Amino acid sequence: MIYNILNGDSLAYSFPDAKIEGDVIIVREALIDGDLSGDNLHDFWQSRARYIGVTETEYHSKVVKEFEKIRNAPDNSVFNLWFEYDLFCQVNMWFVISVINSLPIRKKVFAVYTSHLDKTNKQFWNGFGPANSDELKVCYANKIPLSEADINLGKDLWEAYKNGNLEELTNLSKNQSSAFPYLQEVVQAHVDRFPKDGTKGRPEKVIEDITKNISTDFHKVFKEFWNRESIYGFGDTQLKHLYDKVMNR
């Protein structure tokens, strides 16, 4: 069985046109933000539903059902992970890898990145969203196989991230792997959210600078933040939370 695991619904709309073989699984989570507590998946799902502010039934229907497709995968399954390079996507991908790693089956795992984008400027942090069918086929053709060491690294990255162990995360980011091409930069961006000296995190400092020198209008702040810090991959929800924090000071 072949599974194409897509990060979010935006790619899911255009994906069928590319006619790429396999079933689609959609990751509808934003693990870059919020409560990650829970010693097992059941407790973890409860924490996430509470944090997002939906009932467990709603959360199960929208989110958990998709992950159950991974957990019920048969022997010799192939998983194509369609994720982007930024922190938002990478955190979700680490979690997906940890779920796949726990499966007692033979499996092959591939990372499919936005390899069609220009690497000479910040454009490569952008997502699959605008990609057409031919570009998606190029990305698929350039997929990267994950070795056992890569899968273990992904699992360990998730554990360190989930437990808030920034030192361990930094150590893990020193591993060189084609499956995680911008790992050091991405992990550093995450570590910079929580300065040891108790000062504001890197995203808040950037938002503060934008609101002081460019505009306090959220849409303009969002656009400028993306120009400067697209490595975070923040959506409206994550940035609005930080924006409100800065504006209410």
Q: Which of 79-93, 124-138, 176-190, 200-214 has the lowest mean pLDDT?
A: 124-138
Q: Is the C-alpha dihedral spanning 174, 171, 126, 58 positive or negative?
A: positive
- CA 160 – CA 102 distance, rounded (Å): 16
Q: What's the pLDDT at 198?
A: 83
Percentage of the chain modeled with pLDDT above 90 = 89
- The answer, yes or no, to whether residue 19 has pLDDT greater than 80, is yes
H-run or E-run covering 7: strand 2-7
d(CA 147, CA 132): 29
Q: What is the average per-residue pLDDT within 33-49? A: 97
- Res. 129: pLDDT tops 90: no
Query: What's the pLDDT band for 116 if we cut at 50, 70, 90?
Result: confident
Token pair for 199: 């000062």
Residue pair 33/124 in contact (Cβ under 8 Å)? The answer is no
How many C-beta neighbours within 10 Å does residue 71 have? 12
Whether the CB-CB separation of 113 and 181 falls below 8 Å is answered with yes
pLDDT digit string, tens, across residues 167-185: 999 999 999 999 999 999 9
The number of angstroms, rounded, from the C-alpha of 161 to the middle of its chain's C-alpha atoms is 12
